[in-house]
Amino acid sequence: MSDLLHPRIDFNSKKTRFFIYAGVALIISILQILILDTISIAGLTPDLLVILCAVISIREGQFIGLIAGFIIGLFFDIVSFDVIGTNALAKTFVGFFSGYFYKEGFHKTTFRSIKFIAIVFASSLVNNFIYYLIYIEPMELSFFRFFIKYGIAMAFYTTVFSIFVLFYNMRKKV
């Protein structure tokens, strides 16, 4: 009877984690659309969904990260009224790329190290390159200016926000 009144949630089960990922993706998507424009610098905003895709891939593996990246990107394309498929393609590559750093049972170690920051930075570069390559008109910007503004600067801005994930995981007990 006690279990009916106070059900125990197993946060280590995959099913529960997937519901949590979906909820976090929904919240981040809303934040991305409604709030993050207020902290834009020179028209650049951090892409928190890249961080989420990297976290899922590092924790669950490359295949799950790939699928999660596609679903998260497609959902964001729909709710942000963006061209359908652009974020889905970019986030799929993020899931695939960051999944290379998956080691079963070692995700906590990765989340507590500077390696996580480097993974997010590289994943953000991949995301930005694919996403903005679709939008850039060939003669609008030189490739070098494009790479500096939409590649490195935006990836750096996203990486700054991944430091919060690092600090959060460093505070948790092993």
Cβ pair 119, 54 in contact under 8 A: yes
pLDDT at position 63 is: 93
Distances (CA, A) of 101 to 35, 36, 80, 96, 110: 31, 28, 30, 10, 9
According to the model, what pLDDT value does residue 134 have?
A: 78
- Asked if residue 121 lies in contact with residue 110, where contact means CB atoms within 8 angstroms, the answer is no
- pLDDT of res. 120: 93
pLDDT tens digit at each of 174 positions of the chain: 445 555 566 657 778 889 999 999 999 999 988 888 788 788 788 889 999 999 999 999 899 999 999 999 999 999 988 888 899 999 999 999 998 888 887 777 778 788 889 999 999 999 988 888 777 665 566 777 777 877 888 899 888 888 888 777 767 654
pLDDT of residue 165: 80
Structure tokens at 95: 């899931």
In CATH, the number for domain 2-171 is 1.10.1760.20
| Residue-level pLDDT at 5 | 52
pTM above 0.75, yes or no: yes
Determine the pLDDT at residue 67.
Answer: 94
Contact residues for 25 (Cβ-Cβ < 8 A; gap 6+): 49, 52, 71, 72, 75
Domain spans, the chain: 2-171
